Structure 1
Amino acid sequence: NSLQRAAPLMLTALAVALPARAGLTVIGGEGALVLGALGCAGLPYLLSGLQGTVGSAMVLGAGALLGAAWVAAAGALRQWRGVNETISSLLLAYIAIALFKHVVEGPMRDPASLNKPSTRPLGEGLRIGAIAPDSLLGDVHWGLVIGVLLCLGAGLWLGFTASGFALRVVGGNARAARLVGLPTDRLIVGACALGGACAGLAGALEVAAVHHTANASVIAGLGYTGILGSFVARHNPWAIPPVALLFGGFAAAGSLLQRRLGLPDASVLVLQGFAFVFILAAEGLRGRLFQLALPSFEKPRLVAVQGRALP
């Protein structure tokens, strides 16, 4: 269960990490995720007869494209209209959630969904199955493999390609990058689009592999948890999988805490908050402890030097 919950968190954390390497703080991954879920569930309404691997790739691609376009809009507003990307991406997320609810409860609602408005169930041929259903992995689906591969690929791209290096230069000093001729606008909007595509893919996988329909269960705060995961991983794609596994374990422990100890579901949020505070405190104290220990080693040496220097 922890592995299954970690799969979308890897992708939503990437949705924050990639724009962050370009110097942007984009926190609208939740909006891209719900639109990705809507695109995955809605494509069969437009194209009937989708089946097999090609059909699965198309519904996942539809979700990724919708997410990419939505977050790229925040990057474009920042570059060409001067709108703060943090505010615009967050507001766009609220708009996306409202749009999702309107479409799911209105035009795309399945008449058979009485108690919980949902779209029509995704066809069996379009669903993403489990990796090894008869093993210890259980219901862990192929989205976990996709998330790990994308994190590894993003790290390789940022660290070993010219375009990845250019993106990091833009994130370090956008003005200097512009002066040396780098296409800063294209790189920034492209980073936002890639991040949005990851979040949209996470939403599409939630529909294709977990819920098999688009409904309110998709709006579970995975996009916001991805923000936390990206910051804990210091926006390093290679550090995102273990962090996502940690937070996936927290999420999986929520139901266990409810059943065994009678604790409320909010206990998961408390655990996540404590983990975030402890990690940030350890990061801040690491340099300070070294500075506090350094004078104790340097004082005798300084005294000896001063003693020789005095007449």
Structure 2
Amino acid sequence: MTAEVESVEAVGVAPAADPGFLQRYGASIEYVLIPCAALLGALAVFGGFVALYGKNPLDLYFYMYYGAFGTWFSWQNTLTRAAPLILTALCTALPAQLGMVIIGGEGALLIGALSATSAALALQGAAPIVVQIAMVIAGVIGGGLWITLSGGLRQYRGVNETISSLLLVYIALAILNHLVEGPLRDPASLNKPSTREIGAANMIGTIPGTDVHWGLVFGLVAAVAAYVLIYHTTFGFAARVAGGNVRAAKIVGLNVGRLILTVCFLAGACAGLAGMIEVAAVQGRTNANLAAGYGFTGILVAFLARQNPLAIIPVAILLGGISASGGLLQRRLGLPDASVLVLQGIIFVFVLASDALYGRIGLFKGKS
């Protein structure tokens, strides 16, 4: 009898039949399956709308895949679009660790772009490496201070950070339009107001062997650094404690105000860096094209990734691919180029609706 028991123990129990496995890993499984189910549901609904438009949903899915990942050119286009999405998603994900909902990444991106452009124009004639470093510093500081303003309003004046960060986007857009059409306008830009070019020598090049600029590397490094900061440092632990229970954090002596301002600065710095990259790697100057919606799409990326900095990377690539496929959908199916924005909106609704499912699926609770 003892030998039989030992043989059974040696064989072990399959994870699917082990209640303890679901108790230990059920939450992690939920974090993967529920967002994936929300994404698939959104694609199905969008396919239904396309069918009503008289198009075959299967053709839609094929061209979306082909336009995003079907060729090396598509991959490069996708990765180029994913770079700013990673950084703007971090602008939402980092404050979320403190229980804050910051949706002003678009504004920080614009301010970062303006700051970086101003630094480049002020240093015309300096060595390219000096100009590039100055642009990075200016973009990071500009974007960081912009989101810190929302954190300060929340901490010291009790203003809701979601509302203030959103309203600051429109203020940033107004500042950009004023400067581009006024003090910083290039007299040669007749049809479309813009600043003077920062100079080809000051542009950030592409990764060798690809057409993808170095902004992708900036985004990957920032995401990994954010993950380490939040989950493997005492600062990150303190931020998560404050996000879980502010009163308890104050009782144990944590400076919650300092945590809020610091995290908001880091979040804005990421979005400001995205703006700097758009100027130094794509546009070469500041103009209205910078308001391309990367900051708003970054919100969706952060929510779909459950505010996890590492999960942001694949989600940003996925959303970047959806955005990159818009042109192909327009050419092959006759759909408006903005149809991908409709899909993003549907995904956002499904992601928000699926939030109520976490912790309520009996299959993943296991048995005590």
In structure 2, the partner of 1:55 is 131
Post-superposition Cα deviations, 1:41-74, rounded to whole Å, max 9, x if no partner, equal: 1113333323322321211210111010111011
Post-superposition Cα deviations, 1:82-114, rounded to whole Å, max 9, x if no partner, equal: 111111111111111100010001111111111
Identify which of 338, 354, 358 aligns with 1:266: 338
Residues in 1 aligned to 2:244 and 2:126: alpha-carbon distance in whole angstroms: 45
Contact 2:120 2:134 in 1 (8 A): no
- Is structure 2 residue 241 aligned with structure 1 residue 165? no
In structure 2, the partner of 1:180 is 252
Shift of 1:231: 0.6
Cα separation, partners in 2 of 1:282 and 1:44, compared to 1, 3 Å: closer
Residues in 1 aligned to 2:225 and 2:342: alpha-carbon distance in whole angstroms: 32
- Is structure 2 residue 93 aligned with structure 1 residue 17? yes
For structure 2, the 5+ residue unaligned runs are 1-76
Residues in 2 aligned to 1:188 and 1:84: alpha-carbon distance in whole angstroms: 13
Shift of 1:272: 1.8
For structure 1, the 5+ residue unaligned runs are 298-311
Residues in 2 aligned to 1:240 and 1:292: alpha-carbon distance in whole angstroms: 24
Contact 2:91 2:270 in 1 (8 A): yes
- Is structure 2 residue 117 aligned with structure 1 residue 41? yes
Letter in 1 for 2:318: L
In structure 1, the partner of 2:154 is 78
- Larger mean Cα displacement after TM superposition, 114-123 or 284-293: 284-293
Residues in 2 aligned to 1:251 and 1:235: alpha-carbon distance in whole angstroms: 21
- Larger mean Cα displacement after TM superposition, 6-15 or 257-266: 257-266
- Is structure 2 residue 103 aligned with structure 1 residue 31? no
Residues in 2 aligned to 1:289 and 1:46: alpha-carbon distance in whole angstroms: 58
Residues in 2 aligned to 1:197 and 1:213: alpha-carbon distance in whole angstroms: 20
What are the within-5 Å matches in structure 2 for residues 90-101 of structure 1?
A: 90-101=166-177
Contact 1:36 1:202 in 2 (8 A): yes
Letter in 2 for 1:222: Y
Residues in 2 aligned to 1:217 and 1:204: alpha-carbon distance in whole angstroms: 13
SS of 2:176's equivalent in the other structure is: helix
In structure 1, the partner of 2:214 is 142
Shift of 1:284: 4.8
Identify which of 183, 186, 200 aligns with 2:272: 200
Residues in 2 aligned to 1:50 and 1:19: alpha-carbon distance in whole angstroms: 36
Shift of 1:276: 3.6
Contact 2:151 2:261 in 1 (8 A): yes
Residues in 2 aligned to 1:164 and 1:288: alpha-carbon distance in whole angstroms: 28
Letter in 1 for 2:155: Q
In structure 1, the partner of 2:225 is 153
Residues in 2 aligned to 1:44 and 1:287: alpha-carbon distance in whole angstroms: 50
- Is structure 2 residue 204 aligned with structure 1 residue 128? yes
Shift of 1:289: 4.7
Contact 1:56 1:125 in 2 (8 A): no
Letter in 1 for 2:115: G
Letter in 1 for 2:170: Y
Residues in 2 aligned to 1:178 and 1:283: alpha-carbon distance in whole angstroms: 28
SS of 1:117's equivalent in the other structure is: coil
Contact 2:303 2:351 in 1 (8 A): no
- Is structure 2 residue 265 aligned with structure 1 residue 189? no
Cα separation, partners in 2 of 1:293 and 1:93, compared to 1, 3 Å: closer
SS of 2:205's equivalent in the other structure is: coil
Residues in 1 aligned to 2:126 and 2:83: alpha-carbon distance in whole angstroms: 25
Cα separation, partners in 2 of 1:281 and 1:77, compared to 1, 3 Å: closer
Post-superposition Cα deviations, 1:2-36, rounded to whole Å, max 9, x if no partner, equal: 00000000000000000110111111111110011
Cα separation, partners in 2 of 1:234 and 1:286, compared to 1, 3 Å: closer
SS of 2:325's equivalent in the other structure is: helix
Identify which of 309, 317, 326 aligns with 1:237: 309
SS of 1:59's equivalent in the other structure is: helix
- Is structure 2 residue 187 aligned with structure 1 residue 111? yes
- Larger mean Cα displacement after TM superposition, 224-233 or 264-273: 264-273
Post-superposition Cα deviations, 1:131-176, rounded to whole Å, max 9, x if no partner, equal: 02xx3x3x21000011011101110111111111111111111111
Report the count of equivalent residues: 292
Residues in 1 aligned to 2:214 and 2:298: alpha-carbon distance in whole angstroms: 19
Post-superposition Cα deviations, 1:244-299, rounded to whole Å, max 9, x if no partner, equal: 001100110111111222110221112223434455566655755536998xx9xx
In structure 1, the partner of 2:281 is 209
Contact 1:12 1:199 in 2 (8 A): yes
Residues in 1 aligned to 2:231 and 2:305: alpha-carbon distance in whole angstroms: 16
Residues in 2 aligned to 1:106 and 1:164: alpha-carbon distance in whole angstroms: 42
